[in-house]
Amino acid sequence: MTETASGFRAPTVPAPDDVLEGVDAIRALLRNPIEAMPRALFREPYLTAHHGGKQIVWLADPDGFETVLRAEADNFPKNFIEHRMLAPVLGEGLLTSEGAHWRWQRRAAAPEFSPRRVLAFAPVFAEAARATAAEWSALADGARRDVAADMQRATLKAICESMLSGESGFDLERFGAAVTRYLDTYGRLSWFDVLRVPAWAPRPRYPMGFAALRYLRKEARRVVSERRARGPGDPPDLLDLLFAAQDPDTARAMSDAELVDNVLTIVDAGHETTALALTWALYLLACDEAAQTRVAEEARAVLGDRDAGPDDVDKLVFTKQVIQESMRLYPPVAAMGRNALEDTVVSGLKVEKGAQVLLGVYPLHRHERWWSEPETFEPDRFSPARSEGRHRFQYVPFSAGPRICIGATFAMAEAQIILASLMRDFRIAPDPEHRIWPVLRITMRPEGGMPLFITRRN
Ligand code: HEM
């Protein structure tokens, strides 16, 4: 295989140098929170400001992330805004709950995410890749195609096939569109959030997303009631595990509403983020021909002409590095919000009780102190030799600590298989007319999709 140094630069979204205050800050945050992340945060470990008498701390420092996400995790529950955006659709499921209610749900779901179980889904991931490849094969060579939409369909199909045994009956097109609509409306920061209007008060964009929300909840209710009527499968899938779970404190089972919350949590959290990781990886490979060729060569060497299986995942080494490096430059979860319950010291800074702590994953991953040439796409940064000794909290696309993404192993295996399968058979090129602009709507996605030119590889 060819050893080529990659060199494509993925510039950081321009932003003001320092923390914006007052109306300017609010305007930038409402438009696109990525554009409100001060440039200084890509050089400094933290920045602070005060808003409405409360301290706001922006963090971009591995030690600080470790304090908030692991060492003092109990003192930093998720903040009000994340909950306000997600709870209407996800209720108090695994992603949005706290304390004992969260712990119970996490234990109930965990067996489905063991590495052995996840690798057994390799044929499902290969099938999702094959469905996309079939669509791309039907295109004329050099056709322009929105790969963001393709990746969303592929990952939605994979999560429904694996976690719900292929029995969701979801109309993938409509379901995916409803998720996007929800994120664009309920997932947008609002003036009400800035003014700390309580979460129960509807935000001005809610009416535009209400039909999507109602559709998503209705579809998940149907899945739960169909499963209740049919009984568990063999082997049991995630939904069967949740049906069988018992709260250790009360010995009760999950109510139907709680089951609906978790079906939506797994399906939503489990496809949109992975679709974005793949979309950004495709974009970066389209801009870096040498890296693209290397992925294609690796895929040919490991897979030949057949579908990927469980044993291939560990062999797709460079493909994995490409996905890791893509999530460094474009982390699907680009920021996380926490709320300080008590006074605490984080990275030498006194964080006041009640402070909003904004964990800047995007600035952390592009930070001048922690990375050399931070804007350069260089998958070999993640080679075992170069990863050695790196601070565990310097690279956190899946978060870390007790609330680490439960689906991290699943997402990596899925993304490796889909990316390798597609790059083996197709060549991609960027559209120079299309402006690449990341926007943050809970997750970070490319504004206006990701059009690429697609050609079959000979
Ligand atoms: C590349 C893909 C993915 C990325 C980047 C990602 C990222 C994350 C991050 C950063 C968190 C923590 C959020 C926070 O604490 O505020 C999280 C939590 C979570 N993710 Fe993922 N995720 C991905 C794929 C998946 C998949 C495939 C699933 C399920 C199949 C999943 C299910 C969840 C769940 C249920 C939680 C909540 C866990 C808890 O709080 O105990 N994610 N994810």
User: Would 412 be classed as within a structural domain?
Assistant: yes
How far is 47 from 66, CA to CA, in rounded Å? Answer: 17
How far is 448 from 409, CA to CA, in rounded Å? Answer: 29
Whether the pLDDT of residue 4 is over 50: the answer is no
The mean per-residue pLDDT over the stretch 307-324 comes to: 97
User: Would 304 be classed as within a structural domain?
Assistant: yes
248-257, 381-390, 408-417, 445-454 — which is least confidently predicted? 248-257
How far, in Å, is the centroid of ligand 1 from the Cα of 400? 10
Model pLDDT, residue 194: 80
Residues 6+ apart with CB under 8 A from 450: 146, 147, 148, 279, 282, 283, 436
| Residues 337-379 pLDDT 10s | 999 999 999 999 999 999 999 999 999 999 999 999 999 999 9
Residues 6+ apart with CB under 8 A from 34: 13, 15, 334, 362, 438, 439, 440, 444
User: Would 267 be classed as within a structural domain?
Assistant: yes
Model pLDDT, residue 53: 84
How far, in Å, is the centroid of ligand 1 from the Cα of 397? 9
Checking phi first, is residue 356 left (phi over 0); if not, alpha (psi -120 to 50) or beta? beta
**pLDDT class for 6, splitting at 50, 70, 90?**
low
Model pLDDT, residue 3: 38
Pocket test for ligand 1, best of 273, 282, 414, 416 (most atoms within 8 A of CB): 273
The mean per-residue pLDDT over the stretch 397-426 comes to: 97
User: Would 376 be classed as within a structural domain?
Assistant: no
How far, in Å, is the centroid of ligand 1 from the Cα of 293? 30
Average pLDDT over the chain reads 93
Residue 180 Cβ inside 6 Å of ligand 1? The answer reads no
User: Would 254 be classed as within a structural domain?
Assistant: yes
Map tokens 């690796």 to a residue: 298
Residue 93 Cβ inside 6 Å of ligand 1? The answer reads no
How far, in Å, is the centroid of ligand 1 from the Cα of 24? 32
Model pLDDT, residue 2: 36
Residue 418 Cβ inside 6 Å of ligand 1? The answer reads no
Q: Return the closest-CA partner of residue 33 out of 316, 365, 439.
A: 439
Model pLDDT, residue 69: 98
User: Would 215 be classed as within a structural domain?
Assistant: yes
Model pLDDT, residue 81: 87
| Residues 131-188 pLDDT 10s | 999 999 999 999 999 999 999 999 999 999 998 888 888 998 899 999 999 999 999 9
The pTM of this model reads 0.95
| Residue 442 structure tokens | 């809970």
Model pLDDT, residue 1: 37
User: Would 29 be classed as within a structural domain?
Assistant: no
The answer to whether 277 and 377 have CB atoms below 8 angstroms apart is no
Whether the pLDDT of residue 120 is over 50: the answer is yes
How far is 70 from 72, CA to CA, in rounded Å? Answer: 6
51 or 75, greater pLDDT: 75
The mean per-residue pLDDT over the stretch 190-209 comes to: 90
* Residue whose CA is at the smallest distance from ligand 1 atom 17: 405
Model pLDDT, residue 167: 82
Please give the tally of structural domains in the chain. 1
| Residue 30 structure tokens | 């409402």
What CATH number is associated with residue 441? 1.10.630.10
Range of the domain at 210: 76-342+406-456
Pocket test for ligand 1, best of 405, 410, 442 (most atoms within 8 A of CB): 405
Residue 274 Cβ inside 6 Å of ligand 1? The answer reads yes
Percent of the chain with pLDDT over 70: 99
Model pLDDT, residue 27: 83
| Residues 25-58 pLDDT 10s | 788 888 899 998 999 999 999 999 888 788 999 9
The answer to whether 409 and 125 have CB atoms below 8 angstroms apart is no
248 or 297, greater pLDDT: 297
| Residue 158 structure tokens | 């994979």
How far is 273 from 155, CA to CA, in rounded Å? Answer: 9
Looking at the DSSP bridge assignments, the partners of residue 439 are: 445
How far is 58 from 56, CA to CA, in rounded Å? Answer: 7
User: Would 369 be classed as within a structural domain?
Assistant: no
Model pLDDT, residue 7: 82
Sign, CA torsion 240/397/67/351: negative
Residue 155 Cβ inside 6 Å of ligand 1? The answer reads no
| Residues 229-271 pLDDT 10s | 988 888 788 899 898 888 888 888 999 999 999 999 999 999 9
